[in-house]
């Protein structure tokens, strides 16, 4: 096949534009505008993590003194028992119920414990009690011990060894302190994968990538701009979450703020690279969504967002600890809660950076432009 267009003399067209434009900046601006003009996207990126933090923060907030719900079997001694327990209403919430009701309530986790006083009989004039509860439920087991202990002392039991209790609380030691860095990491993962991956595939489907490729635009400028715009979206996302956590739950940052910023950026880079890799070949939104869930789901479960990843068996640990989100969550918790310094966390930062660089390079190599 032969196709030819002949050399043309360069004609002078009217007033060649002299204004300078930088492609990286122009693509970045375009991405920012597209994002901000999409209200749903703004909500999912900025609003959703806050709602999630608020909900989880309230659900797991520190209760001053644990309160137990206790049901008492309706009978002759029920009133007396209820009066004893009601001396400390902040600790016990008492109801007197018949068997069908309290069994139902036990089954539905509405009550922690049922006390069944022994029916009076000729053999024993003393009061004796049966505790009915699910022995596998930690709340019920605790309630049984506390109620038992309380009732024995009411009846005059003396402890052979005198004991005192002292409350220990350290900054960064509460569940919400554990949770916030995890949510931050989760947000960085989701934002990186969706923010880069989804947009890339969308542009591929619309043949916009192909159109760009037909211009002198440099490929690395384009990919660079995608990463930069991702960084820019991330700044408000993180500021909002941290400010919110500080004012609502009094979550403070023990470590160096600059170190935290750098770590967040390296984390964001790791996930932007991963997003680019996931999107590098996909031709449909369904494919890329599936791939993203495939990548994200294991990390949601394993990487210690809501509970420590140490809970998983020893054999799985090397794998779990290598996942980028596990590494990032550990880094964020080390800085925010433990106040660790660069000297302690640099190996983890290196692992994260490696994730970013390696995924970016592979993506660049296998990227499908049309």
Partner 1 sequence: MEAVRGLNLEVAVGECFGLLGPNGAGKTTTIEILEGLLTPTSGQVSILGMSWLKEPQEIRERIGISLQETKLSEKLTVMETVTLFRSFYRQGISPKEALMQVELMEKANALTGKLSGGQKQRLAVACALVGDPELLFLDEPTTGLDPQSRRQLWEIIRSLRGMGRTVLLTTHYMDEAERLCDRIAIVDHGQVIAEGTPRSLIASIGGEHVIECSLEAPHPEVDHAPLRQLPSVQSVRAEDGHLTLTVHAPHVAIPALLEYLDQHELRLTNLITRHASLEDVFVTLTGRHLRDEGNQAA
Positions touching partner 1 (CB under 8 A) are 1-11, 13-17, 19, 21-23, 25-27, 29-30, 33-34, 37-38, 206-208, 210-217, 370
> How far out from the chain centre does Cα 251 lie?
15
Q: To which H or E segment does residue 353 belong?
A: helix 342-366
For partner 1, which is the closer residue by CB, 227 or 274?
227
* Angle (CA) 262 265 271, round 5°: 145
For partner 1, which is the closer residue by CB, 19 or 163?
19
**Residue 268's closest CA among 204, 175, 359?**
359
CB of 225 to partner 1, least distance (A): 10
CB of 37 to partner 1, least distance (A): 4
Residue with tokens 């036990």: 106
Instruction: Judge contact between 263 and 178, C-beta under 8 A.
Output: no
For partner 1, which is the closer residue by CB, 27 or 180?
27
Separation CA 32–CA 35 (nearest Å): 5
For partner 1, which is the closer residue by CB, 12 or 161?
12
For partner 1, which is the closer residue by CB, 22 or 110?
22
For partner 1, which is the closer residue by CB, 17 or 163?
17
Q: To which H or E segment does residue 117 belong?
A: strand 113-117
CB of 210 to partner 1, least distance (A): 6
CB of 201 to partner 1, least distance (A): 13
The set of long-range contacts for 78-86, using a CB threshold of 8 Å and a minimum separation of 24, is 78/117, 81/115, 81/117, 81/151, 84/150, 84/151, 84/154, 85/147, 85/150, 85/151
Query: 53 Cβ partners below 8 Å, 6+ apart?
Result: 179, 180, 183, 241, 244, 245, 249
CB of 227 to partner 1, least distance (A): 17
CB of 216 to partner 1, least distance (A): 4
CB of 291 to partner 1, least distance (A): 23
**Residue 241's closest CA among 64, 23, 48, 88?**
48
Report CA dihedral (335, 337, 340, 345) to the nearest 10 degrees. -50
CB of 199 to partner 1, least distance (A): 10
**Residue 71's closest CA among 40, 45, 110, 118?**
110
* Angle (CA) 222 227 240, round 5°: 145
**Radius of gyration for the chain, computed over Cα atoms and rounded to the nearest angstrom:** 30
Instruction: Judge contact between 198 and 362, C-beta under 8 A.
Output: no
> How far out from the chain centre does Cα 335 lie?
17
Separation CA 358–CA 366 (nearest Å): 12
For partner 1, which is the closer residue by CB, 239 or 285?
285
CB of 6 to partner 1, least distance (A): 6
For partner 1, which is the closer residue by CB, 350 or 366?
366
CB of 55 to partner 1, least distance (A): 30
For partner 1, which is the closer residue by CB, 5 or 165?
5
For partner 1, which is the closer residue by CB, 36 or 361?
36
């Amino acid at each position: 096949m032969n196709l030819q267009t002949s050399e043309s003399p360069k004609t002078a067209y009217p007033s060649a534009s002299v204004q300078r434009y930088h492609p990286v900046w122009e693509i970045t601006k375009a991405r920012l505008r597209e994002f901000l003009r999409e209200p749903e996207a703004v909500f999912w990126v900025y609003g959703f993590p806050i709602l999630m933090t608020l909900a989880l923060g309230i659900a797991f907030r520190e209760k001053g003194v644990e309160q137990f719900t206790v049901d008492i079997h309706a009978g002759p001694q029920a009133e007396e028992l209820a009066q004893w327990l009601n001396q400390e209403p902040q600790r016990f919430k008492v109801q007197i119920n018949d068997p069908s009701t309290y069994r139902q309530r036990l089954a539905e986790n509405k009550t922690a414990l049922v006390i069944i006083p022994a029916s009076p009989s000729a053999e024993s004039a003393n009061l004796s009690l049966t505790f009915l509860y699910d022995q596998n439920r930690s709340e019920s087991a605790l309630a049984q011990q506390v109620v038992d202990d309380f009732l024995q002392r009411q009846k005059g039991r003396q402890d052979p060894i005198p004991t005192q209790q002292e409350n220990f609380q350290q900054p960064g030691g509460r569940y919400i302190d554990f949770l916030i860095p995890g949510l931050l990491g989760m947000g960085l993962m989701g934002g990186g994968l969706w923010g880069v991956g989804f947009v890339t595939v969308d542009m591929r489907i619309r043949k916009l990538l192909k159109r760009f490729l037909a211009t002198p635009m440099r490929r690395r400028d384009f990919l660079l701009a995608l990463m930069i715009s991702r960084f820019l979206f991330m700044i408000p996302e993180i500021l909002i979450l941290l400010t919110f956590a500080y004012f609502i739950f009094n979550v403070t940052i023990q470590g160096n703020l600059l170190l935290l910023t750098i770590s967040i950026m390296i984390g964001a880079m790791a996930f932007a690279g991963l997003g680019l890799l996931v999107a590098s070949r996909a031709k449909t939104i369904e494919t890329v969504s599936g791939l993203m869930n495939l990548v994200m789901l294991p990390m949601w479960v394993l990487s210690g967002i809501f509970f420590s990843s140490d809970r998983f068996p020893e054999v799985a640990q090397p794998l779990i600890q290598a996942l980028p989100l596990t590494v990032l969550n550990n880094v964020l918790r080390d800085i925010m809660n433990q106040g660790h310094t660069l000297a302690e966390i640099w190996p983890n930062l290196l692992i994260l950076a490696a994730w970013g660089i390696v995924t970016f390079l592979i993506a660049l190599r296998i990227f499908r432009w049309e």
